[in-house]
Amino acid sequence: MSLNPHKPKFDAFYWAIVEAAAAQSVATRHKVGALVVTPSGMMSSGWNGKPAGMDNACETTLVEDEDNPGKVRWKTDPAVLHAEVNAIMKMTREGVSTKGSILFVSRAPCFECAKALHGLGLKTVYYEEDHDDMRGVDLLRDTGTNVLKRTYGTMPLLPPTDPCKEPYNLAA
């Protein structure tokens, strides 16, 4: 019998990686992390950022803030690649199939990413936070990908203190 890497008991481990991946992003508006786990347990992580070789600034122009008239806000640079696409691109580069894989992503896939993801044969997409525009989730569901929102989510993903020094009480 072989290991089943898609057992729910591994979910906290995978979400911890997603959170750690998101922390790598230099974006200031949304730091998003993603993790793809193949049926054999190989993993590819990603976070939102510009293509390697470009400068790192994810927000480069100021635009009027629709929510605060008279104020401005930073706009995400159109060159920024989203977390889930970065994770998938690594697999593509190495020739690793996405078929039957599970994608964990901290923010629901946007419409553009959903178009890129829909035909990859993903078994399930789990997301944590809703997107302002949920058309991406609708597209994935309409085209046959199982998409689920993380539902047990109030527990912190990582211990707030160093677990080596201070045991973390999950029941607290």
Both structure tokens of 127? 């997301």
Considering the complex, what minimum distance in angstroms separates the CB of residue 166 from Zn ion? 37
Considering the complex, what minimum distance in angstroms separates the CB of residue 118 from Zn ion? 12
Which stretch in 24-32, 74-82, 97-105, 116-124 sits in contact with Zn ion by CB under 5 A?
74-82
78 vs 160, beta carbon nearer Zn ion = 78
Look at the alpha carbons of 130, 131, 135, 140 in this order and tell me if their dihedral is positive or negative.
negative
Phi, psi torsion values for 8, nearest 5 degrees: -60, -25
87 vs 102, beta carbon nearer Zn ion = 87
Nearest Cα to 136, choosing from 107, 106, 115?
115
Which one among 34, 37, 113, 125 touches Zn ion, defined by CB under 5 A?
113
Both structure tokens of 93? 């580069």
126 SS3 class = strand
Contact 45, 33 (CB under 8 A): yes
82 binds Zn ion (CB under 5 A): yes
Binding track, positions 91-110, relative to Zn ion; x by CB under 5 A:
-------------------x
131 binds Zn ion (CB under 5 A): no
Task: Give the span between the Cα atoms of 99 and 120, in whole angstroms.
Answer: 6
110 vs 120, beta carbon nearer Zn ion = 110
Chain positions contacting Zn ion, by CB under 5 A = 82, 110, 113
